[in-house]
Amino acid sequence: MSDMATLRAQAAAARSTEAGTTAMAVPRDRPAEAEVRFTSQLRAKKVVRDEMEWYEVEGYASSFERGYEMWDAFGPYTEVVTKGAADATLAADPEVVFRFNHAGTPMASTRNGRLQLWADDAGLGQRAWLNPKRSDVQLLVQAIEDQDVREQSFMFRITSGTWSPDYTEYRINSFDLERGDVGPVTYGANPHTTVSARAGEFLASIDHLSPLVAREAYARLGARADLRPPQQTAPATAPAPAAPAEGRSISMVRARLLALLGDE
């Protein structure tokens, strides 16, 4: 099984070969609307605004000049949001909503004046005023106060970015927040679906995995002790047809990976 440094080096070499003499603009297969999550100190308090009580929730949806790990079709790399990357989009007064986990009904927006965005040396900051009468707001504020929710995220589109010469680091030099969102999220680095929910997506994607990712997946599956079949002696008589094994999906994964690697 390859260590992370080796994976990064192999992924960088693959990107360089793929790009050739033309600089790669964005990471391969990156979603058009990217989601990046950051650990951020969230604060929630009750305030009076416009003669009404609101929950004021404040924090940073992004950090500038701090690297975080991402993956593209070739493997892992470091991504950095450049200081100043939000200046152009904030100057254009984008329409942005505040919501939890990038889903559900918006709780505030820049259009109704209850979501305020800014950029400073630390990153992209946000301050939202939420209606305390809403049950979803009450649950969110309680989760923040209990520190069950401690991280934030923002949804954006990359408008300008550059790779380092060795293709190990990608810098987002500017992004567009128009019709995007900001707000708290449950988890920082991982997708918001469970491993079991994503198993079908993984099986469907096996035939399209790059050689590097396919080899790493095969190595990790082979290293799992619970996937090694127990040694059995041949039965004296032919057994009755067995029910499909619960682990047949794993066998399918390994078979497809072997076929894929054999074609390389």
Q: Are 166 and 12 in contact (CB under 8 A)?
A: yes
pLDDT at position 70:
81
What phi and psi, each to the nearest 5 degrees, are found at residue 61? -85, -15
Measured distance CA(247)–CA(7) in Å, rounded: 28
- The pTM score is 0.69
Question: The tokens of 154 are what?
Answer: 């923002």
pLDDT at position 242:
54
Torsion angle of the four alpha carbons 192, 196, 201, 203, in this order, in degrees rounded to the nearest 10: 150
pLDDT at position 195:
37
pLDDT at position 202:
63
Measured distance CA(121)–CA(18) in Å, rounded: 35
Helix or strand holding residue 199 (H, E)? helix 195-205
Note down pLDDT in tens along the chain; length 264 residues: 568 899 899 999 999 998 888 888 888 777 656 666 655 667 889 999 988 999 999 988 888 999 888 888 888 889 899 999 999 999 999 999 999 988 889 999 999 999 999 999 999 999 999 999 999 999 999 998 888 887 888 888 889 999 999 999 999 999 999 999 998 887 643 332 333 334 545 666 777 777 877 888 888 888 877 776 655 556 656 655 555 544 455 666 666 666 666 655
Q: For residue 176, give Cα distances in angstroms to 86, 121, 155, 160, 183.
A: 7, 19, 9, 10, 16
Q: Are 132 and 138 in contact (CB under 8 A)?
A: yes
pLDDT at position 260:
65
